Structure 1
Amino acid sequence: MKENQEEQPFAVVLDEIFTADPLPIAQLYRLSDMQEEDAAHFWQGWTAVSDERRQAIVRHLADISEDNFVVDFAPLFIPSLQDSVADVRIAALDGLWDTTDLNLIAPLTEMMKSDPEERVRAAAAGSLGHYVLLAEWGQLPETILPELVGTMLATYENEETAVAVRRVLLEGLGAADNPRIGDLIAEAYENGDPATQLSAVFAMGNSADRRWTVTVLGEMESPYEDMRAEAARAAGAIGNSDFVPQLASLAYDEDLAVQTAAITALGQIGGDEVQRILANMLDDPEVEENEEILEVVEEALEESAMMAGDFNFADFPYGDPIDDL
């Protein structure tokens, strides 16, 4: 079936993508790495596609990009940053989340500052924060950081910047090695607004700074599920073994998001004690009956084992990867 679809003329494929009901998801892969002539046909027809259809297409392309590292839809996402529909612009930003294209920093900065939709400005701020994270990890040149962090700080401290945008900026700035960030995180945490406090805890995790250990431990006992989950995620990012006992308790939290965050965090922290906890969970009848949690535990155990150098691909449960190709 897949081979027959790939043999179809691109014009036929394009017509189906633009008009068929339901949207043929499998055909969207043909939009990756388009030849110049095919791309010209795409953009010629794109102008006539309805707002709702454009939104659906770009959203699906972003979702595919998240799960498939082989496809390349960036040539479609970049022009879509200027689409008239906010949801299309947001989907395009999501699709470009892992980009390392430094040429996009300027247009993303402009979107953060002046896009007419607040949620688009917030999404653009998140994209810029990802550039900060990649640069701090050494995956992008550190030379981009002074100007980028300076711009984000200036926008954050601008009183006219919407709270939603400031929250996302703080989350991204958490990763920056800048002496001002710690104070900004502390101020946001003490703000009293629950949403801003959530972003502050996210920024604590993004900083990977153990100075926040006591605060994060405290929030893992919060009566609010979203805060417990955020604190668990921060604990995994910080990676302090002091978090392990509390995370082990949250691994059985009544809230699924909290459970998932706690188990994932345990895998990120690793160590003999973590592997023992996760291995015991695999033998727990309650966990065995919950496929979703069971999968999270297995993934966390694999990550913990890989960190310790104990992971054996011969034990990989899905068969020989080479044979599957």
Structure 2
Amino acid sequence: LCRMMTSDPSPEVRAAAAETLVHLASLARAGKLAPRDEKSIAGELFGVLENENELDAVKLKALEAVSAFGGDRLTPFLEAAWSSGDLSARQSSIYAMGRTSDPKWADRVVEDLEHDMVAVRYEATMAIGELGDESHLHALEGPLDDEDLTVQLAAISAVERIGGDIAKSLLELRLVSSEPRVVELVQQALEAMKEEEDLDEVVTPEMARSMFGAGDTLPGVDTEGYEAAELEGWANAQPDPGLVDDFGTGVTEEAEELGLDRGDPFDVDLPPQDPWDHD
């Protein structure tokens, strides 16, 4: 994909390759790809942005993809696209700002919640759900009542992601909407918020510490430098060499007789006896 994005003679193919890298960049940033792949993807995407001879259509898709990595290196490209005066660039820059998850872009995004273009308002609404907090909920009241249904639905999702009591109140007011899809999405959002609240109440800090092992220490025992053998009294025990099993876990006598002990990390148990072997 990186080679296609940088080398294919067709600008449409290069743009499509960059667009596909949006998802892979997110996986890389989340640690789901090898570090070398993350470095390669980020490097190639920034290379496209820095290529003065590349078409804007390809650069904008690269901007959307590389935004998953965030960082100061991205800042000038986001600002240039946002202020370029081109609507496609504005839309891509807002989308990219949301993908950075960096709250420093929230105030910039809020400015476009009332943009003339529906596509820009939609992207701004979705982005503020990723970047905003409760202080930005009042700015979403307009999108919740937007004349365009897609913007309304985006606003419901954004309010849900921000969460909190104020968010819940804003959503409850939309239960009387005349638009069935609005009511349905609001109901789903409120249910999801309730489930999250219930989970927060059920999982107490004490339970969380216990689940992650912090509460499993023994009273009066300093686990720093803990030596189980000395503490439990078997440090000086000398086992009978003939009883030491160095073949692996659950080794069978037949295996030792056959000389199957390889003595390496792949030393595993023999498979169960074949029930169909009548010999």
What does residue 94 of structure 2 align with?
201
Whether contact under 8 Å (2:174, 2:182) holds in the other structure is: no
Output the TM-score relative to the length of structure 1. Answer: 0.57
Could you state the TM-score of these two structures normalised by the residue count of structure 2? 0.66
Identity rate of aligned residues, in percent?
A: 34
Deviation at 1:231, TM superposition (A): 0.4
- 1:29-40 → structure 2 map (5 Å cutoff): none
2:13 alignment partner in structure 1: 120
Specify whether residues 247 and 117 from structure 1 end up closer, same or farther in structure 2 by C-alpha distance, changes over 3 A only: same
- After TM superposition, the structure 1 = structure 2 runs for residues 57-136 of structure 1, keeping only pairs within 5 Å, are 108-136=1-29
CA contact (8 A) 1:128 1:172 kept: yes
Per-residue deviation, 1:138 = 3.2
5+ residue gaps, structure 1, are 1-107, 312-325
Counterpart pick for 1:303 among 185, 192, 199: 192
Aligned equivalents of 2:192 and 2:18: distance in 1? 30
Q: Deviations over 1:169-226 (max 9, x none)?
A: 1111111143201221112112121111111111110111111121111111222222
Paired residue for 2:107, among 200, 208, 214? 214
> What SS does structure 1 have at the residue aligned with 2:69?
coil
- Per-residue deviation at 1:147? 1.9
Other structure's SS at 1:214 match: helix
More helix by share: 1
By how many angstroms is 1:232 displaced?
0.3
Q: Residue 278 of structure 1: CA displacement?
A: 1.2
Q: 66, 75, 83: which one pairs with 1:173? A: 66
The residue aligned with 2:81 is 188
> In the alignment, what sits opposite 2:157?
264
Which residue of structure 1 lines up, in the alignment, with residue 245 of structure 2?
A: none
Q: Cα distance 1:256–1:156, how it changes in 2: closer, same or farther (>3 A)?
A: same
Residue 136 of structure 1 contacts residue 142 of structure 1 at CA under 8 Å; is this kept in 2? no
Which of 181, 184, 197 pairs up with 1:292?
A: 181
Instruction: Give the RMSD, CA atoms, in angstroms.
Output: 2.0
- Name the count of aligned residue pairs: 200
- In 1, the alpha carbon distance for the partners of 2:164 and 2:12 equals 40
Q: Is the 8 A contact 1:268 1:303 kept in 2?
A: no
Per the TM alignment, residue 292 of structure 1 is displaced from its structure 2 partner at its CA by 1.9
* Corresponding residue of 1:65: none
Shift of 1:135: 2.2
Q: Does 1:162 align with 2:29?
A: no
Q: Residue 231 of structure 1 corresponds to which residue in structure 2?
A: 124
What letter corresponds to residue 208 of structure 1 in structure 2? Answer: S
- Structure-2 residue corresponding to 1:29: none
- Name 2:168's counterpart in structure 1: 275
Unaligned runs of 5+ in 2: 201-279
Flag the structure with larger Rg.
2
State the Cα distance separating 1:309 from its structure 2 match.
4.0
Instruction: Spell out, residue by residue over 1:27-51, the C-alpha distance to the aligned partner (whole angstroms, 9 max, x if none).
Output: xxxxxxxxxxxxxxxxxxxxxxxxx
